[in-house]
Amino acid sequence: MSLQRPDTKEIISKVRQIDIKTNRLVEGIISGAYLSAFKGTGIEFGDVREYNIGDDPRTIDWNVTARMNHPYVKEFIEERDLTLMIMFDISRSSEFGTARSIKKDTGIELCASLAMSAMRNNDRVGLMLATDRVEKYLPPMKGKKQAFRIIRETISHEPLHNNTDLSVPLAQLSKILKKRSIIFVISDFQDDIQRFKKPLQILKNRHDLIAVKLFDIREHVLPDIGLIELEDVETGEQILVDTGDAGFRKKYRENIELRNRELSEVMKHLEVDMIEISTSEDWIQPVLRFFSMRSGR
């Protein structure tokens, strides 16, 4: 399933639709879960209050205590000062989907929700759109204008290239991001794993890296519908296969499972958290489960 470039009216309409949907989600549960999952970089002094039984004695403010002739403790607030970077793979394979949505549309909604959550928590947020190169880069900034720009770019940007090479944008992020950041890499990861493993590791060593794998069930399991023509959406290469052949379907499934295991093992080895989202399900639940898991650490 491929997309046609939307005109200006369609873009504006879709931005509004995404804004309405993600705003409702962010106001409800996403923003709070995001806040709990990603803590600030430190703490700063907030105020003092009277000491209560159970307070940590180390927080006693001895100067105020001496003046008031009664124990007072210091209160601290979280200093967030967070930077969120979203790297979104918009190569041609993202335009595939046979269930509720195509992978790209799922990714767009996720990008929008992350951007809106960052905005509501006064965090900086940036965007990198990627294929086998960097297609678009928005430096991290705060504010509603930045969040809307991110939504607009994910919807309106037409990729100049079809193929995937995650090593290029990952390496570019390592050069660009000087300050420790939270990085969401949203992709179907249909790329040579060994090619992007090293730049992924370099990025992970300096930043908090989360991989979001988008997939469609038909990329894992072929239906038994006889002769069909399969096409590589990135290269355009076509091949005629017999899906009625149980042996072929089994071999296809085994190859996919082998590749998925390899990807999971690489992420586990590098200690990169991975969220897996199917086009046949609501993306919100896997993301909330991840936020809950991160909060519990």
- Residue 8 reports pLDDT greater than 90: no
Alpha carbons within 13 A on the beta-carbon side of 273: 18
Q: What is the mean pLDDT of residues 122-150?
A: 95
Q: Give the pLDDT confidence score for residue 140 in this predicted structure.
A: 96
Q: What is the mean pLDDT of residues 22-26?
A: 69
Contact call for residues 133 and 163 (beta carbons, < 8 A)? no
Of 206, 212, 204, 208, which Cα lies nearest the Cα of 269? 204
Q: Give the pLDDT confidence score for residue 3 in this predicted structure.
A: 41
CATH of region 8-38+81-295, choose from 3.40.50.1370, 3.40.50.2000, 3.40.50.410, 3.40.50.150: 3.40.50.410
SS3 222: coil
Query: What is the tens place of the pLDDT at every residue in 196-220?
Result: 999 999 999 999 999 999 999 888 7
| Cα four-point dihedral sign 231, 101, 137, 207 | negative
Tell me which DSSP letter residue 60 carries. Answer: B
- Please give the Cα distance from 175 to 220 (Å, whole number): 35
Identity at 128, one-letter amino acid code: M
Q: What is the mean pLDDT of residues 273-282?
A: 92
Confidence of residue 11 (pLDDT cuts 50, 70, 90): low
Domain with CATH 3.40.50.410 in the chain: 8-38+81-295
- Residue 66 reports pLDDT greater than 80: yes
- Residue 62 reports pLDDT greater than 50: yes
Alpha-carbon distance values, 61 to 51, 55, 79 (Å) = 10, 12, 20
- Residue 284 reports pLDDT greater than 90: no
- Residue 42 reports pLDDT greater than 70: no
| Cα four-point dihedral sign 260, 263, 267, 272 | negative
Copy the structure tokens of residue 185: 């890499």
Copy the structure tokens of residue 275: 């969220």
Alpha-carbon distance values, 282 to 106, 277, 279 (Å) = 9, 8, 8
Confidence of residue 1 (pLDDT cuts 50, 70, 90): very low
76, β-bridge pairs: 45
Q: Give the pLDDT confidence score for residue 2 in this predicted structure.
A: 40
User: What is this structure's pTM?
Assistant: 0.79
Phi-psi region of 114 (alpha: psi -120 to 50; beta: other; left: phi over 0): alpha
- Residue 43 reports pLDDT greater than 60: no
- Residue 45 reports pLDDT greater than 60: no
Query: What is the tens place of the pLDDT at every residue in 176-186?
Result: 999 999 999 99
Confidence of residue 271 (pLDDT cuts 50, 70, 90): very high
Confidence of residue 258 (pLDDT cuts 50, 70, 90): very high
| Cα four-point dihedral sign 111, 84, 25, 218 | positive
Contact call for residues 212 and 186 (beta carbons, < 8 A)? yes
Q: Give the pLDDT confidence score for residue 226 in this predicted structure.
A: 75
Q: Give the pLDDT confidence score for residue 236 in this predicted structure.
A: 67
